[in-house]
């Protein structure tokens, strides 16, 4: 995705963890979409920065959507995903 491109639909999402949103609810707001995986070291390393931006720019309307993208079969364990979300305050 590039800046100012239309937000795509997210087909294949099997579960929303911290609330579900629609494109209509996001319309007119700046949106940061963070693709990550539980097995990705660099993804986890960037999470504090993503949280900092989320908190810093929330008053300006920034919405952050984190999308877990499994890199292997092991990455599909929903309990591990939820635990990582909780650990990193996503």
Tens of pLDDT, residues 32-61: 989 999 999 999 899 999 999 999 999 999
> Is the residue at 7 inside a domain?
no
Tell me the C-alpha to C-alpha distance, in Å, between residue 1 and each of 8, 34, 50, 72, 81.
9, 11, 17, 23, 23
What's the CATH number where 73 sits? 3.40.30.10
Number of Cβ within a 10 Å radius of residue 56: 10
Residue 23 lies in a domain: no
The token pair that represents 83 in the structure block: 């635990």
Q: Under 8 Å CB-to-CB from 78, ≥6 apart: which residues?
A: 15
Quote the pTM value.
0.81
Q: What pLDDT score was predicted for residue 49?
A: 95
> Is there a domain that residue 8 lies in?
no
Domain hosting 54: range is 28-87
* Residues of the chain above pLDDT 70, percent: 99
């Amino acid at each position: 995705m590039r800046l100012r491109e239309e937000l795509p639909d997210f087909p294949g999402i099997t579960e929303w963890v911290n609330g579900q949103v629609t494109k209509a609810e996001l319309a007119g707001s700046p949106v940061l979409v963070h693709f990550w995986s539980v097995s990705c070291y660099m993804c986890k390393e960037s999470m504090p920065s993503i949280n900092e931006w989320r908190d810093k720019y929330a008053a300006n309307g920034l919405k952050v959507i984190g999308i877990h993208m499994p890199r292997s079969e092991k990455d599909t364990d929903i309990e591990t995903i939820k635990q990582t979300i909780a650990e990193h305050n996503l």
